[in-house]
Amino acid sequence: MIAAVEGNIVSKGTNFIVLKVGPLNLMINVPGSTVSKLGHVGSAVLLHTHLYVREDNISLYGFSSPQELTLFKQLITVSGIGPKVALSLLTTLNAEQITSAIRGSNAELLSQVPGIGKKTAGRIILELKGKLEKGWDGEIISAIGQADSDAVAALTSLGYSIREATQALSSIPHKDGMLLEEKVRLALQQLASK
């Protein structure tokens, strides 16, 4: 098993990098969000990896944190979720957002990820909810509630990504009885200030 690789970036794609490790150039599949964080060609990086082996496919998947790697491994245990769909989830949402959606039974948020329908989102929640009781640092993560999924949908219809929408919503102060319009307005102010 290959637990981690360290080397210099030779080239980058939308969801992979080629990493020079000694005399080898390894193609490593990574979430799109990780590609943008890794720096430029020639940069030295360390990736936590998972070697995926099937009779017709051997692929290496890399992540910038052990938490992303752990979540990836848990996602691919769900029936019907392969590494490409798990990578799509981690590209669209960060590990904390996915965990929050699973813990909060927010199938609506998960089903907005390309390749995930409502049925698959429900299966992910059903199979992983009990395994994700605590956040990465041992603290309980505040879930993005069902009410916020409407606000996420409104923001994505305005052209923002799911990641941008959920981050903006999680950073605004929430009050009991807050209307959808007020949440969207505050989130838009948050997004405009960046």
Is 118 part of any domain?
yes
The backbone torsions φ and ψ at residue 58, rounded to the nearest 5 degrees and listed phi first, read -125, 115
Any idea what the CATH number is for the domain that residue 116 is in? 1.10.150.20
Query: Of 16, 36, 63, which one is at a domain's C-terminal end?
Result: 63
- Which of 38-47, 143-152, 181-190: highest mean pLDDT? 38-47
**Same structural domain for residues 165 and 183?**
yes
Is 95 part of any domain?
yes
Task: Say if residues 142 and 148 touch (Cβ distance below 8 Å).
Answer: no
Place 25 in a pLDDT band, splitting at 50, 70 and 90.
Answer: very high
d(CA 38, CA 43): 8
Query: Of 63, 91, 111, which one is at a domain's C-terminal end?
Result: 63
pLDDT digits (tens, 9 = 90+) for 75-86: 999 998 999 999
Confidence at residue 146, expressed as pLDDT on a 0 to 100 scale: 53
Is 70 part of any domain?
yes
Average pLDDT in the chain: 85
Is 136 part of any domain?
no
Place 147 in a pLDDT band, splitting at 50, 70 and 90.
Answer: low
Domain limits at 166? 146-192
Confidence at residue 99, expressed as pLDDT on a 0 to 100 scale: 87
**Number of domains observed in the structure of the chain:** 3
Q: What stretches of 15-113 show up as alpha helix (H) in DSSP? A: 32-37, 66-75, 83-92, 95-103, 107-110
